[in-house]
Structure 1
Amino acid sequence: MRTGAVVVSVLFVVAALVTGCSSAPEPAAPVAVESGARPQDPKPPYPYRSEDVTYRNGDITIAGTLTEPEGSGPFPAMLLITGSGPQDRNEDLSGHRPFLLLADTFTRAGYAVLRTDDRGVGGTSGVLDEATYPDLAADAAAGVQFLRGRAEIDPERVGLFGHSEGGYLAPLVAAGPESNVAFAVLMAGPSVPGADVLIEQNKVVMASAGAPQADIDAQVRFLTEWTALLNAGDTAGAKAFSQQHNDSLPEGQRLPQPLLDSLNAPYMTALLTYDPKPALEALRIPVLAFFGGTDMQVIATQNEPPMRAALAGDPDATVHTFPGLNHLMQPSQSGKPSEYATIETTIDPAVLTYVTDWLKQQVPPR
């Protein structure tokens, strides 16, 4: 997760570079909370095995935690893929650890779960800003192969769970010619190109913060022109355009140069120019894609219909929207990212039950 001068976003950066307006929303900074404010956070002792592991993708060392049910197996398994920006294996954000909770839930239900640090985070090597989507897809594919190579795991029943940007990467890996991915779960995974998600996200977030329509229109114009340059492959032009725009802002509203540079790095370019439609249309495995009805980052009304259309050829695909839940699947009437830290629930229990029931139906545990 990256922090811009305006909004912290799990999927994208929404930064002051874009608007330069004083009425823009405040950052969704983590809020200090007491330990009791995260009632779903799993606590040891756990009724399952937990092992820190490492494996490689070429020159990259990937570090993570593998949890497995008690017994000899073979168990079905899944790799969890985080949202955008540098995330640790628990996808720690706003005082919540959703991937720790998901791993605990699914392992208790009979599934082995591998969750890993992103490039440049924790025990994983590399630099995320320098990575492309083929690089990140290869990281995930290496995780699948690692799981398939474990004697206690059923190599024919290894799947992927992707949250937010992970919902881009999971289908990309699963649709590969030799992926052998058995199933995919997409939690708030976008179904339209990255630039489209970013623009719609900005409209909704700014409007919810009371920004004047003129400021929203200016932001959309900037984003449209900037991402058009990226989509055209003119990375130098996109960098120059954003630099010129940033320099034109009052000094107190400019982005720090390192953050501005990261917005034009290969990783962000890959994220903003990616079109998930071909990979989604190629899937012929059990797929569960679900959204939150109040999500302001991957907006259900923008992404659910194209997701249904893209998965229409997959007889084992399910698409669902949970009313009243935000991007983290927390109960939230507004869906504002600034509220993530203030909500005690990490993931609505109804979502955990729904996904677990779907898994048990499609990929029964041993």
Structure 2
Amino acid sequence: MTAARPLIGALALLVLAAPLPATPALADTAPWSAPATTQRVEEAKVFRSGDADLSGTLYLPKGGKALAAVVVTHAAGSPSRASPLYRHLIEMLPAMGMAVFVYDRRGSGASGGDLKTSDYALLADDAVAAVRMLKTDPRIDPGRVGVWGLSQGGWLALLAATRSPEVAFVVSISAPVVTPDVQMMFRSANALKVQGYSQVDIDQMLATRKAVDDYMRGTSDKAEAQRRIDAAKVQPWFPLTYMGETVRDRDVSRWRKEIEFDPLPSLETVKVPALVLYGAADPVVPVAISVERLATITPRRPNLKVAVIAGADHGMQTTVSPKDQMDPARADMAAPDAAEYFAVLASWLTAKGLAAR
């Protein structure tokens, strides 16, 4: 362990330094500028998945050959390839001798398709299609293409590995190992707490969510769910819950397709190397419960590494208050800054033979 620390420290410093470049024009012309060791190449790519053409950008070190590559799956609130959440991968991985592909989620940006008619399986298959596309690139090692995802993207990364043997490894960040209904109860309660709402407000919110969830499960009727929503939607805390003002019919509701998805069985079937990380200060995901559930399968999964990053939140940040990170208006503003996260990720990629340097 002692011998590995200089490498981890050096890689962490490299990553922490990477996001600092100023305006590209200034960097190119300033008299004090110097050529970077790694020249990063950016290439637009379009690939087909099911009924949609999806668009993204491939980033890789100039002149690289037989590169390991990462496909990025999306957090629910970060559907664009330009999201700040993915910037650290774009700057970090090519410097480590790896390629990374970030695309616009179906129905977003330059990608076709319709998110409303999708489910987790379809979104995971989109990632698999991206993996398959990268395998045809002569600069990419077809045996070393994996998937990275955060939050909902962490679920999708794991699911992609269960749906295709072409996924060589998985990095799953802040993905709750509970069903979505349990996770949203946890998240919504904490969102109201950090905003200073009373327990009465929290209880009303939880009862409203439960009524909608019960209808989606088929154990309650739609009228009762809508009555609860009508009473809640006039409350100032309602936007913090991510619930719509109208209860959709369960036969066409996307939430109905998601509500009972349990990621733990997926982890049981993932045989490829997998890194699962959480933030110790995450108010969005029930980390303690997730780690406890994962502990039931890790003895049977020697390729599975689980770690909790000190001081990190849901987006692997250490500098954002719980109130700000749970503000819906800031949903696409997360940008990882936890040094330990960078170090653990870099160390794992190196240990698995994926990083060239």
TM-score category, normalised to shorter length? 0.7 to 0.9
Q: Deviations over 1:245-272 (max 9, x none)?
A: 23335757677xx943597764333333
Q: Return the TM-score normalized by structure 2.
A: 0.79
Instruction: Find out whether 1:76 has 2:59 as its counterpart.
Output: no
Of 220-229 and 262-271, deviating more is 262-271
Instruction: Find out whether 1:246 has 2:229 as its counterpart.
Output: yes
CA shift at 1:158, angstroms?
Answer: 0.7
Match of 2:57?
65
Q: CA RMSD in A?
A: 2.9
Given the alignment, which residue of 62, 79, 89 partners 1:87? 79
Cα distance in 2 between the residues matched to 1:42 and 1:289: 30
- DSSP 3-state at the match of 1:53: strand
- DSSP 3-state at the match of 1:175: helix
CA distance 1:50–1:42, shift in 2 (3 Å): farther
- DSSP 3-state at the match of 1:363: coil
Q: Deviations over 1:300-324 (max 9, x none)?
A: 2232222332444210111111121
Match of 2:119?
132
Q: Is the 8 A contact 1:86 1:121 kept in 2?
A: no
Q: Is the 8 A contact 1:201 1:296 kept in 2?
A: yes
Instruction: Find out whether 1:157 has 2:140 as its counterpart.
Output: no
Match of 1:99?
86
| Structure with bigger gyration radius | 2
Match of 2:283?
296
CA distance 1:252–1:98, shift in 2 (3 Å): closer
Question: For residues 226-245 of structure 1, what are the structure 2 equivalents within 5 Å?
Answer: 226-232=212-218, 237=221, 240-245=223-228
CA distance 1:333–1:99, shift in 2 (3 Å): closer
Cα distance in 1 between the residues matched to 2:20 and 2:128: 28
CA shift at 1:72, angstroms?
Answer: 4.1
Of 157-166 and 241-250, deviating more is 241-250
Instruction: Find out whether 1:199 has 2:185 as its counterpart.
Output: yes
Q: Deviations over 1:129-177 (max 9, x none)?
A: 221122112111111111112111111111110100011111111012x
CA shift at 1:39, angstroms?
Answer: 8.8
- 1:248 alignment partner AA: A
CA distance 1:345–1:250, shift in 2 (3 Å): closer
CA distance 1:300–1:86, shift in 2 (3 Å): closer
Q: Deviations over 1:29-51 (max 9, x none)?
A: xxxxxxxxx99366657721111
Given the alignment, which residue of 301, 309, 316 partners 1:329? 316
- DSSP 3-state at the match of 1:98: helix
CA shift at 1:80, angstroms?
Answer: 0.7
Given the alignment, which residue of 352, 355, 362 partners 2:352? 362
CA shift at 1:85, angstroms?
Answer: 4.3
- 1:185 alignment partner AA: V
- DSSP 3-state at the match of 1:260: coil
- DSSP 3-state at the match of 2:257: helix
Q: Is the 8 A contact 1:40 1:346 kept in 2?
A: no
Question: For residues 199-278 of structure 1, what are the structure 2 equivalents within 5 Å?
Answer: 199-232=185-218, 237=221, 240-249=223-232, 259-261=244-246, 266-278=253-265
CA shift at 1:224, angstroms?
Answer: 2.3
Cα distance in 2 between the residues matched to 1:321 and 1:247: 39
Sequence identity (%): 26
Cα distance in 1 between the residues matched to 2:334 and 2:230: 40
CA distance 1:41–1:196, shift in 2 (3 Å): farther
In structure 2, list runs of 5 or more residues that go unmatched.
Answer: 1-16, 29-37
Match of 1:352?
342
Q: Deviations over 1:270-309 (max 9, x none)?
A: 3332111110111111111111111111232232222332
Instruction: Find out whether 1:175 has 2:162 as its counterpart.
Output: yes
Match of 1:116?
103
